[in-house]
Chains A and B, each alone.
Chain A
Amino acid sequence: MSGPAQVLDCRGQRCPLPVIALARRLPGLPVGSVLRVLADDPAAAVDIPAWCRMRGQEFVAAVPDGPGYDVRRTH
């Protein structure tokens, strides 16, 4: 398991902005790499995994020392 390829700092942003930023950034990463989204809006904990499910991308995990979420580009 490799660490995140990039970190996207969305702290201070309210949903849906962190999800929009994730959707803009992820396609720029190579398939298989992980993007870490830092987001302190509580809604991100729900909406980032939900976005991954709707888009068929992989929600890896919430970062233990968060608030952050790792997402892997699968396609």
Chain B
Amino acid sequence: MSPTPVYLDAATAAPLHPVARQALLAALDDGWADPARLYTQARRARQLLDAAREATAATIGVRADELSFTPSGTTAAHSAVLGGLAGRRRAGAALVHSAIEHSAVLHAAERHVAGGGTAHAVAVDRVGRLNLTCWAEAVRTPGVALAALIAASHEVGTVQPVAAAAELCAAAGVPLYVDAAQVVGRTAAPQGWSVLTASAHKWGGPPGVGLLVVRKGTRWESPWPADERESGRTPGVLNLPAVVAAAASLRAAAADAAAEAARLTPLVDRIRARVAAEVPDVEVVGDPTDRLPHLVTFSCLYVDGEALSHALDRRGFAVSSGSSCTSSTLRPSHVLEAMGVLSHGNVRVSLHRETTEADVERFLAELPGIVAGLRAEAGVVGL
């Protein structure tokens, strides 16, 4: 008999919120027309889009005309970086970013560098928190067009000092882009930024909806070929039913966010403590207190990350891993690398609204035996 599935990878994609499902099904009937046209069906679609935009903007505390929907969180991140740089090309061609940004931001930075620009990665400490001294120095260097900082690490959960980083950017006259994919719908969005992005499937919305927020007065220029949709910020017709579902589920997730954080934070504390105590030779990484409520990462010495992921999957546990053997590039996670922590045998566990205490207890009960079994197979016990 196969074990009951326990899904512990919400930081990649949270299970679809029931509100999202309802809204999606309803909007499939009403929201198929192109909102830009001038007939009845289009007007109905336009109403749905406007309502989704108003609701989403109100939930994250911005103006509706500052918010655009994009075809994914990745597209939003690419737009934020490349558009922020394009809008400030007269100020210079330098991008400053933390060393622990999401790969979407780093790939946009690579594109910028390939086009003749520069990119400077700012270091983090052992728990994965931005070094503000290095950040201050980097953003006040002449020629910096944009700075990018993730709100909280998607790999290790450490919350970043966004307010302090934003003040340093403001003093230097540099706009700040914040990737808020792991915080929107879970905690209050940070302040002080000029551009912000998020991704619906991280909060229980459907995949294929991103948010791009550009504050009034920000010099931002679309990096894409011209298109009149979404205030010219992102091309292509939107998946309107998915947008409607994203907006509805964000409102529901945000309404429950404080209670969910209060429920999940002690479960993550329990995982951190029990894994450290009950699995020998393990490194639990990230800040133990100033962290996301739902995410914890650890690395098991001498264990192959891919083998560990498969072993957990055979017992019904779905987790993510930053080990090199689990990546297409065969490089370890750049986040673990930047922190200088063990990268092999890595597991990221991220909880969501359907995660129960019993799920966590079963994971904690089975993990030590799974790790011990892999170590026995590899002949590394007692090293």
Contacts and interface: CB of A to CB of B under 8 A. Distances in A.
Contacts of B302: 16, 19-20, 23
A42 B301 contact: no
Interface in A33-67: 41-43, 45-47, 49-51, 54
Interface string B88-114: 000000000000000000000000000
A41 B323 CA distance: 12
A2 to B, nearest CB: 26
A75 interface: no
Given A43-B324, A46-B337, A16 B301 contact: yes
A43 B344 contact: yes
Contacts of B323: 15, 43
A11 interface: no
B378 interface: yes
Contacts of B304: 16
B344 A42 contact: no
Given A24-B383, A42-B324, A43-B324, A19 B344 contact: yes
Given A16-B304, A19-B302, A47 B340 contact: no
A43 B380 contact: no
B324 A15 contact: yes
Interface SS of chain B: loop
Interface stretch (B235-243, B313-321, B328-336): B328-336
B19 interface: no
Size bracket of the A interface: 10 to 19
A49 B281 CA distance: 15
A49 B378 contact: no
A19 B304 CA distance: 11
Interface SS of chain A: helix
B372 interface: no
Contacts of A14: 324-325, 330
A16 B374 CA distance: 12
B68 interface: no
B383 A47 contact: no
B345 interface: yes
B342 A47 contact: yes
B310 to A, nearest CB: 15
A14 B332 CA distance: 11
Interface of B: 281, 283, 301-304, 323-325, 330-332, 336-337, 340-345, 378, 380, 383
Q: 6 closest pairs, A vs B, by CB? A: A50-B342, A16-B344, A23-B383, A43-B332, A43-B324, A15-B344
29 contacts: A15-B324, A15-B343, A16-B303, A16-B304, A16-B344, A16-B345, A19-B301, A19-B302, A20-B302, A20-B378, A20-B383, A23-B380, A24-B383, A41-B324, A41-B330, A42-B331, A43-B323, A43-B331, A43-B343, A43-B344, A45-B337, A46-B340, A47-B332, A47-B343, A49-B340, A50-B340, A51-B301, A51-B342, A54-B283
